[in-house]
Amino acid sequence: MSAAVQETVATEWASAAAASVVARCDTLAALTETPGRITRVYLSPEHARANDTVRAWMQDAGLDTWQDAAGNLHGRVSGPTPDAPVLLLGSHLDTVVDAGRYDGVVGVLMAVEVVARLARDHGALPFALEVVAFSDEEGTRFGKALLGSSAVAGVWDDAWWDLCDADGTTLRAAFTAFGLDPERVHDAAVDPARLVGYLEAHIEQGPYLEQADQALGLVTSIASARRFTVQAVGEARHAGGTPYERRHDALLAAAEAALAVERICRAEQHIGTVGTMAVEPGAVNVVPGLATFAVDLRGEFDEGRDRVWDAIVAAFHEIGERRGVVVTPTEVHRAPAVFCAPRLMDAVRAGIVATGEPAPLELFSRAGHDAMSLGLVTDVAMLFLRNPDGISHHPDEFVAAPDVALGLDALTAAVERLARDHVPAGDGGDA
């Protein structure tokens, strides 16, 4: 993939740091459960190895490190006093199945570089800087996304312990096997009163920065999301002897339902995807009796998302009635739209402009991010990096090192701006 045409030139530090970030993304790409593909899920041996690898890099950079009670990795540079407020930066180290190598990872590694530079070159900032490498943003293993950042945000729900992975292992069992204590998970929660806010750099996972010929973008809000597992229960029958009028074909009902998701979402300018489908009994000469599929639904606002979901459920009901198949959705994940904080957006926008880039494209993130969890308890903002052709959740996912370099300069300048404008809590500030 050719690097994007770059007008603005990053600093020498940023160019060197970007080369290291990209090389380290390659190193982490090798920590996978499936050689030749990148798959690294929550509470897996690969999760542990990724934490070990990034912990060493954090320590080399002079950060104090620890793993929290939910398996997230933290690296911190202290503030002027032990009770100084904390600015969080970071992203996630887990991946989808057969993932790209930059989703989440590049944001974690950029945060480490920026924090190390500011600690080295800046002396005491008015707040501590803490990088969080979240352990489960995707929800690949247990279906529920944002588990790691939910724990840090203090919104972990103990009802999740019975979630199961594809092998039937519960979240509780996997947690314990990883060496974590389920009874202590709530210890991972930060005190929102001590937070200055949360900044996350991430690839766009969409085509709009490339279309605008811009290296960096500013996120306005993050998609409102809901995820469902849907069961279509029909009747397994002989593929030869069963006339069509006597069939209750679960696969065909599910197929119609998947097309209904696309039709309704396109008509309503929302985003719905059926990403998995399993059929039973799964024999060439048996009419399928059971189909199980997943729906990922997103929108800019919660109200619109929920209205679209109601229309989808009505379509499922009509299909089921007509085919004599019972179609039952079960919600497994819900995250409200999160709106970035103007105060932090101003800092990120100023950071981008300080690199010499024009005022950035401001866009709504169709992808979910850990900032959705943190946005429940503190101010958040996100810096997007140009992601050629918007390819993501795919091995061809790419980000050009010069764009990473500009992102490093912009993120550094954004933190410097927050430091300059920081008003201590006692003087009317908010952290």
Among the listed residues 236, 338, 319, 346, the one whose alpha carbon sits nearest the alpha carbon of residue 280: 236
Contact status: 147 vs ligand HGY (CB under 6 A):
no
The string of DSSP codes covering 174-238 is HHHHTT--GGGGGGG---GGGEEEEEEEEE-SSSHHHHTT-SEEEEEEE-EEEEEEEEEE-B-EE
Contact status: 289 vs ligand HGY (CB under 6 A):
no
Number of residues that bind ligand HGY (CB under 6 A): 5
What are the residues facing 273 on neighbouring strands? 296
Query: What is the C-alpha to C-alpha distance for residues 313 and 1, in angstroms, rounded to an integer?
Result: 41
Minimum separation from the CB atom of position 381 to ligand HGY (A): 18
* Mask for 394-413, x = binds ligand HGY (CB under 6 A): --------------------
Contact status: 416 vs ligand HGY (CB under 6 A):
no
Contact status: 130 vs ligand HGY (CB under 6 A):
no
Minimum separation from the CB atom of position 367 to ligand HGY (A): 4
Q: Name the residue number minimizing CB distance to ligand HGY.
A: 367
Judged by beta carbon distances under 5 to 8 A according to partner kind, the member of ligand HGY, Mn ion, none in contact with residue 370 is none
Contact status: 104 vs Mn ion (CB under 5 A):
yes
Judged by beta carbon distances under 5 to 8 A according to partner kind, the member of Mn ion, ligand HGY, none in contact with residue 46 is none
Look up residue 30 and give its two tokens.
């090798």
Residue of 46, 68, 103, 249 interacting with Mn ion (CB under 5 A): 103
Query: What is the C-alpha to C-alpha distance for residues 13 and 407, in angstroms, rounded to an integer?
Result: 12
Are the C-beta atoms of 201 and 215 separated by less than 8 Å? Answer: no
Strands 216-222 and 361-365: parallel
Judged by beta carbon distances under 5 to 8 A according to partner kind, the member of ligand HGY, Mn ion, none in contact with residue 136 is none
Query: What is the C-alpha to C-alpha distance for residues 429 and 431, in angstroms, rounded to an integer?
Result: 6
Residue of 137, 165, 256, 357 interacting with ligand HGY (CB under 6 A): 137
Contact status: 367 vs ligand HGY (CB under 6 A):
yes
Secondary structure of residue 241 in the 3-state scheme:
coil
Minimum separation from the CB atom of position 418 to ligand HGY (A): 26
Contact status: 148 vs Mn ion (CB under 5 A):
no
Query: What is the C-alpha to C-alpha distance for residues 232 and 229, in angstroms, rounded to an integer?
Result: 10
CB closer to ligand HGY, 10 vs 105: 105
Are the C-beta atoms of 326 and 263 separated by less than 8 Å? Answer: no
The backbone torsions φ and ψ at residue 246, rounded to the nearest 5 degrees and listed phi first, read -105, 5
Minimum separation from the CB atom of position 94 to Mn ion (A): 9
Q: Looking at 95-103, 175-183, 187-195, 251-259, which segment touches Mn ion (CB under 5 A)?
A: 95-103
Residues forming the site for ligand HGY (CB under 6 A): 137-138, 145, 367-368
Residues forming the site for Mn ion (CB under 5 A): 103-104
